[in-house]
Structure 1
Amino acid sequence: MDRNTATPAASHEGAEHHGSQPWLHQHGVEIQHYGTVRQFPLGLSHDARLYACQRLNRLLADTQVLHALYKKHHWLVRGATFYQLHLLLDKHAGEQLELIDRIAERIQTLGGIAVGDLRHVAELTHIPRAPDGCEEVPAMLSRLLEAHEIILADCHDAAADIAAQGDDGSSDLIVSGLIRLNETQVWFLAEHLVDTPLLRV
């Protein structure tokens, strides 16, 4: 039998099953379903943790789409301000990527399942799909600002509702993490859409 197709069970009789051949094409049962939470001793009720995971997963999906938009526009931006925007959009994308990890890890901390498959993300996001091609730069920036606003509106609502259920940790993440970062990025983007000449003659 070809060594590349052999399974570990095909090794010599009586020999220990050790070697360099990976155990490929393994499948298993789903040990926790999406939309459920495990019981952790966090001092929070099951319902409070389940609700927080639902709201955080919506924000996680939207944040993943926003990150993807930033990367797309970072690649496609053009024109006289290419260099400045190319760097700025990539900086914002990196900050959003760090935020994605923080949201996902908070969901896991609550005993939930963080949405990770991009096909699942597409089912959950509230952010409209951008054209597959390249837009003009002002449209790119406006699209990013609209995505930020969708996320921020959901953040304000979610933070209040989650805090009312006693989950201060998730509420704090939304306020100190999502809201503050998204507001700052909105400021940096919006200033690029102000039509102010460098000189008046």
Structure 2
Amino acid sequence: MESTITGSAPARPGHAPSGGQPLLHQKGAEVQAFGTLKQLPIGLGHDTRMYACQRLNRVLADTQMLYGLYKKHHWLMRGATFHSLHLMLDQHAEAQLALVDALAERVQSLGGVAVGDPRHAAELTAIPRPPNGVEPVPVMLSRLLDAHERILVDARDAAARISAEGDEGSNDLLVSQVVRTGEAQVWFLAEHLVDTPLVRG
């Protein structure tokens, strides 16, 4: 006599039990649209959170583009300083990727929707698109410096305005992470554009 397990439906011939089969090809409507907020009990009003999410998402989109520029230029470095620049640009890219995550998580913690799709970020960014090919090394470094400056100007303005709205958490993220990381990376990049003799003073 065959025993059965109470409450379990027998598997259909040719089909795995429902507990072992991934439910593939699922579709559904958005549960939260971009640009909207869900209510979270964090002691900040709707308008403050909405403004902060808008400004943070703009910095987030630009930071995603800067990360992409760093990776592109990391791959395309050449010349006598290839090794040092190749490594440095990758280190900078990793730091920018960490900022992407921090910015996105801050937007989510405010009840918003973070810019996640690179195609969406490309629609929102103020960072100019580079050519698809290879530029001279000094031009690539200058392009990174320009992107940094755009982000730094916007991040400082956003931090001041968000702080005036009472959102010190977003202000702290922008100042202590985005601005300070950007300033340090600008310093390292800019020093590589100083025309300094190597063997004669």
Tell me the TM-score normalised to structure 1 length.
Answer: 0.91
Matches of 2:165 and 2:143, distance apart in 1:
33
Amino acid across the alignment from 1:114: A
Q: State the match for 1:189 in structure 2.
A: 189
Q: Matches of residues 93-172 of structure 1 in structure 2 within 5 Å?
A: 93-172=93-172
Q: What are structure 2's unaligned runs of at least 5 residues?
A: 1-10
User: Displacement of 1:12 after TM fit?
Assistant: 1.9
Shift of 1:39: 0.8
Q: Counterparts of 1:1-201 in structure 2 under 5 Å?
A: 12=12, 17-200=17-200
CA displacement 1:156-191 (0-9 Å, x = unmatched) = 110010000000000010000100000000000000
1:16: how far off?
9.5
| Structure 1 residues 97-137: Cα deviation after superposition (integer angstroms, max 9, x where no partner) | 01100000000000000000111001000000000001110
Matched letter for residue 95 of structure 1: A
* Matched positions, count: 190
Q: Distance in 1 between matches of 2:17 and 2:47?
A: 46
* Length-normalised TM-score, structure 2: 0.91
The root-mean-square deviation of aligned C-alpha atoms, in Å, is 1.5
Whichever residue aligns with residue 58 of structure 1, its letter is: R
In the TM superposition, residue 53 of structure 1 has moved relative to its aligned partner by: 0.3
C-alpha distance in 1 between matches for 2:161 and 2:144 = 26
Gaps of 5+ in 1: 1-10
**Cα offsets for 1:37-58 (capped at 9, x unmatched):** 1111111110000000000000
Q: Which residue of 1 aligns with 2:4?
A: none
